[in-house]
Amino acid sequence: MLKYLIPFLLILILFSCIEDDSISYRNCWSLAESGEEIQVYYPCGDDRLGPSWFRSTYAFYSNNKCEYLVLHPADAHYMEDGIYEHNPELSILTIKTSEGDLIVKFKILSISEREMKVKILEDNYF
């Protein structure tokens, strides 16, 4: 009995040390579906993303740096450097310009390797 208990406890300890962030928001995400408050993002380059004139795109890096796609009037969209704050207890991501101006703040409702669903809390993107 003890020989089965020790491996079980080791596995339990191992998985309890893994953060909920094991499926991470740190990725490049492109807007797939948009409602009034809820938005669904797929990983950049995902086969499910069809053609689009413009879709919000964010790339999050581990050093609280990020990039976001800027809508350009002459259709010359480009990625701009920014910063983000993550509150893991509330699952809230706040994206700001490099100067600290708010771009968007959203709550992560669900996340998997293939989809991130968020609720928009504040939006100054355009």
Relative to beta strand 57-60, strand 38-43 is: unpaired
- The fold adopted by the segment(s) 24-123 is Lipocalin (2.40.128)
pLDDT digits (tens, 9 = 90+) for 1-42: 545 444 443 443 433 333 444 458 888 988 898 887 799 999
Cα(32)–Cα(42) distance, integer angstroms: 6
Q: What is the pLDDT of residues 71-105, one digit of tens each?
A: 877 777 889 999 999 999 999 999 999 999 999 99
pLDDT at 11: 45
pTM score > 0.85 for this model? no
